[in-house]
Amino acid sequence: MKTVIVYYSRYGNSRVAAKLIAKQLNAPLHRIEVKKRKNVMTSTFTSLFGRRPKIKTIQLDPESWDFMVIVGPVWSGRPAAPLKTFLAETRLAEKKIAVFFTHTKTDIHKRPTRWMKKVLDHFGARLVAVSGYNIGTKQHTVLKQRVWDLLSQLPPQVIPSADWVSNRKRNKKSSLK
Ligand X SMILES: Cc1cc2nc3c(=O)[nH]c(=O)nc-3n(C[C@H](O)[C@H](O)[C@H](O)COP(=O)(O)O)c2cc1C
* Nearest distance in Å: CB 51, ligand X: 13
Query: Taking the CA of residue 19 as centre, how many other CA atoms within 13 Å lie in the half-sphere pointing to its CB?
Result: 7
Instruction: Return the number of the residue (96 or 100) whose C-beta is nearest ligand X.
Output: 100
- DSSP H helices, 90-131, are 111-122
Spatial contact of 25 and 3, defined as CB atoms under 8 Å apart: yes
Residues 84-143 that bind ligand X (CB under 6 A): 102-106, 135
Binding ligand X (rule: CB under 6 A), the pick from 3, 24, 43, 131 is 43
Residue span binding ligand X (CB under 6 A) among the ranges 5-13, 20-28, 86-94, 123-131? 5-13
- Residue 62 and residue 57: Cα distance in Å, rounded? 14
Binding ligand X (rule: CB under 6 A), the pick from 65, 67, 75, 86 is 75
Spatial contact of 108 and 79, defined as CB atoms under 8 Å apart: no
* Nearest distance in Å: CB 15, ligand X: 6
For the CA atoms of 98, 102, 106, 111, the dihedral, rounded to the nearest 10 degrees, stands at: -20
- Give buried/exposed letters for 22-55 (b at 16+ CB in 10 A, else e): bebbebebbbbebeeeeeeeebeebbeeeebbeb
Report if residue 24 touches ligand X, rule: CB under 6 A: no
Spatial contact of 73 and 101, defined as CB atoms under 8 Å apart: yes
Residue span binding ligand X (CB under 6 A) among the ranges 39-47, 60-68, 89-97, 120-128? 39-47
Instruction: Return the number of the residue (3 or 102) whose C-beta is nearest ligand X.
Output: 102
Instruction: Return the number of the residue (105 or 177) whose C-beta is nearest ligand X.
Output: 105
Report if residue 19 touches ligand X, rule: CB under 6 A: no
Instruction: Return the number of the residue (40 or 93) whose C-beta is nearest ligand X.
Output: 40
Residues 137-176 that bind ligand X (CB under 6 A): none
What is the H or E stretch that residue 43 is in?
Answer: helix 40-48
Residues that bind ligand X (CB under 6 A): 9-14, 40, 43-44, 73-77, 102-106, 135
